[in-house]
């Protein structure tokens, strides 16, 4: 089964403040397949993290289409809280995140039966952190 790794990140300067997301997608050999860097306006860091996950899954769907159902994906993020919330291990206390949680859940059910969510330290996902910071820097 083909394995793809996606690093996602979201950041808000000022929390809330100017925010950006970064997605860095590689194959199992480490070859870069796609990078996304987007400014998302003003938000909280949790909102930006969720947005990074959503854009990551949307990008993977656009890249691989229906083949995602037959592939293995590992989505790596630095927010342990967001990982736990998306895995239904922790409650969502910010009501504004619930619609994004539902959308991510629906994408997982429809297209990603072999998706693993993992929490990694920032230094292990430097590319996605750089991408979200670049998106914010471009707008400031």
- Residue 47 domain-assigned? no
- Residue 113 domain-assigned? yes
Residue 110 CA from chain centroid, whole number? 17
For residue range 6-56, list pLDDT tens digits in order: 999 999 999 899 999 999 999 999 999 999 999 999 999 999 999 999 999
- Residue 14 domain-assigned? yes
Predicted local distance difference test score (pLDDT) of residue 127 = 76
Predicted local distance difference test score (pLDDT) of residue 90 = 97
For residue range 106-136, list pLDDT tens digits in order: 999 999 999 999 998 766 567 777 777 788 8
Sign of CA dihedral 66, 72, 77, 81: positive
Predicted local distance difference test score (pLDDT) of residue 124 = 57
Domains contained in the chain, number: 1
Domain span at 86: 10-35+62-120+129-140
Other beta carbons within 10 angstroms of residue 15's beta carbon come to 13
For residue range 50-76, list pLDDT tens digits in order: 999 999 999 999 999 999 999 999 999
Q: State the pTM of this model.
A: 0.92
- Residue 31 domain-assigned? yes
Predicted local distance difference test score (pLDDT) of residue 73 = 98
120 and 6 Cβ atoms separated by less than 8 Å: no
Mean pLDDT in residue range 63-90: 96
CATH number (domain holding residue 90): 3.30.420.10
């Amino acid at each position: 089964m083909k394995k793809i790794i996606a690093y996602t990140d979201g950041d808000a300067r000022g929390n809330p403040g100017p925010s950006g997301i970064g997605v860095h997608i590689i194959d199992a050999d480490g070859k870069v397949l796609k990078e996304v860097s987007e400014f998302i306006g003003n938000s909280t860091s949790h909102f930006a993290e969720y947005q990074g996950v959503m854009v990551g899954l949307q990008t993977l769907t656009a890249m691989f289409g229906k083949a995602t159902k037959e592939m293995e994906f590992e989505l790596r993020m630095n927010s342990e809280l967001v990982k736990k919330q998306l895995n239904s291990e922790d409650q969502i206390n910010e009501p504004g995140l619930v619609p994004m949680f539902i959308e991510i859940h629906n994408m997982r059910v429809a297209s990603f039966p072999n998706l693993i969510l993992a929490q990694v330290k920032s230094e292990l996902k430097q590319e996605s952190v750089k991408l979200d910071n670049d998106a914010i820097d471009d707008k400031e």
